[in-house]
Structure 1
Amino acid sequence: MGRWISTWTDDPAVRDLPVLLCLPPAGAGCQQFRAWQPALEGTAQVYGVQLPGRENRWREPMPDTFDEAVDAIAAELTATVGDRPVTVFGHSFGGLLGYEVARRVPPRALVVSGCRAPGHWDGAGRGIVDDGEELDKLFDTAGLDPALLDEDTRALMVGMLRKDAQLSLSYTHRPGVRLDVPVHAWGADGDETVTAADLDGWAAVTSAGFTRHTTTGGHHAVLRHPRPVLDQLTALLSDAAQPHPAP
């Protein structure tokens, strides 16, 4: 397995299944998606995208630009999964990465949660880089009280968040051709960082249908209580397993 994409099963039976590619939020690694493999047993092989600077890649430097990261992920995805159908899921910053990966390696569907539409990302993340209110909101919505974290843990988390936020600031949205796959955007009614308008903006990136879904909780609600989105992903992956006519 390459550096950018991980999986959690070597069962030969999954090699013919559709692929679910999961991209985590800023400051996080992909191990949180490990539990999704047994939850989707018999439906998909789950892969997680691992950026440098965390978990098994914590000593590695971040790429210089957003596009460099996306190009590396897309190239490894193509080499890893071959012609199997792919569904992409990304949360927060991972949704933006997932969208750009989908532009390079077309999936069967794109699902994002807690993520501004690409055209709404101008300056997003600056509050994290500057240690402003946005950083405190992300700790709060993750259910973490910075005052209760030891100094080393907080420094590690802040460092990862800032690196990813800095990477996001190098992103420039170039609309171009719209995706020819359905896009589903999940939001939470208590999310103070991503508005309904930010989610509705995803309708502009696809010509194949857009749906907005709402759940209860804060910014990380979908990751903390994933059952509803897992049910939707199961349906999308099952559809992906059916033969699709050539365009």
Structure 2
Amino acid sequence: MTILRNNFGCVCRLSRKSSGPVRQQLVVFPHAGGGVSFYQHWRDVLADDIDLFIVQYPGREESQRTEGWTNAKQAIDASTRDLQASLGIAPIVIFGHSMGALLALHVASALRSSRFQSNTVLSSQHRPTDLLYLEQEAECQRLLDNILAYSESSGSLVLDEFTRPAVSKLILQDLKLLGHLARLAVPDLKLRILGGDCDPLVSQSALYQWENTVPGCQIELMPGDHFYFRQDEAAFLRQLIA
């Protein structure tokens, strides 16, 4: 069945023609350096009556000419505005992976004040207070080096002398934004926290620290590393939107 793609500012909506109404909506906030292309194949796995929305950060893919977000408010406002323009009335699951987790958290809070009700799922990320070090340029660079080393060794990224500088610039841009997001107060939301049980970037103990920030949050460990969901994406998506 044909996939329909519509762009609403920084939001890409991927849907299928169906004779019935949309049953559910899945909103994805990608990891640092990530974009629509990394997650768009989820459309092939999801049922026809589920719409997929992927937030496209500035400076990559079809948004290459768009200037990057320079602060948390700009990122939250742009994502919230474009999701309000594109979402329908069906129940929503908001999924933020790695860097995208904190942006997803604050956009979910902003959407709550409008007509939208959603379940919020944060994936493979430290609690905000453990990310304040990213306000320091040297620490952003150190984490960037760790991400690149892990991504290349795991096969998540294949870089050469031409692509490495561009990808590094995008990831560094996203990490600086993550540092800004970490300074914001954590909104009062019911959260699911997911992560891999052998993630070299976010340990199990780091995930469980969320319990001290958001009492009552649901923490779930899954087999795998930082991109644990790639092991069996069909099974993961069924669990995510259940």
Q: TM-score, normalised by structure 2?
A: 0.82
Q: 1:142 and 2:148 equivalent?
A: no
Percent identity of equivalent pairs: 24
Amino acid paired to 2:163: T
Alpha-carbon RMSD: 2.7
Q: Distance in 1 between the 2:220 and 2:118 partners?
A: 18
Answer yes or no: is the 8 Å Cα contact 1:14–1:42 preserved in 2: no
Amino acid paired to 2:184: H
Counterpart of 1:194 in structure 2 is 202
Answer yes or no: is the 8 Å Cα contact 1:190–1:216 preserved in 2: yes
1:66 CA drift (Å): 1.5
Give the SS at the match of 1:9. Answer: strand
Q: Runs of 5+ in structure 1 lacking a partner?
A: 236-247
Alignment: residue pair count = 229
Give the SS at the match of 1:142. Answer: helix
Give the SS at the match of 2:132. Answer: coil
Q: 1:215 and 2:225 equivalent?
A: no
More strand by share: 2
Give the SS at the match of 2:206. Answer: helix
Summarize the Cα distance change of 1:150–1:112 in structure 2 as closer, same or farther, 3 Å threshold.
same
Counterpart of 2:238 in structure 1 is 231
Correspondence list, 1:79-228, <5 A: 79-106=85-112, 107-124=117-134, 126=136, 130-132=140-142, 134-144=143-153, 149-171=159-181, 172-175=183-186, 177-179=187-189, 181=190, 183-203=191-211, 209-223=216-230, 225-228=232-235
Summarize the Cα distance change of 1:173–1:14 in structure 2 as closer, same or farther, 3 Å threshold.
farther
Amino acid paired to 1:193: L
Q: Distance in 2 between the 1:128 and 1:152 partners?
A: 24
Q: Runs of 5+ in structure 2 lacking a partner?
A: 1-6
Aligned counterpart in structure 2 of residue 27 of structure 1, from 26, 33, 43: 33
Amino acid paired to 2:128: P
Give the SS at the match of 2:9. Answer: coil
Q: Distance in 1 between the 2:20 and 2:150 partners?
A: 35
Q: 1:9 and 2:15 equivalent?
A: yes
Answer yes or no: is the 8 Å Cα contact 2:21–2:49 preserved in 1: no
Give the SS at the match of 1:73. Answer: helix
Summarize the Cα distance change of 1:75–1:217 in structure 2 as closer, same or farther, 3 Å threshold.
same
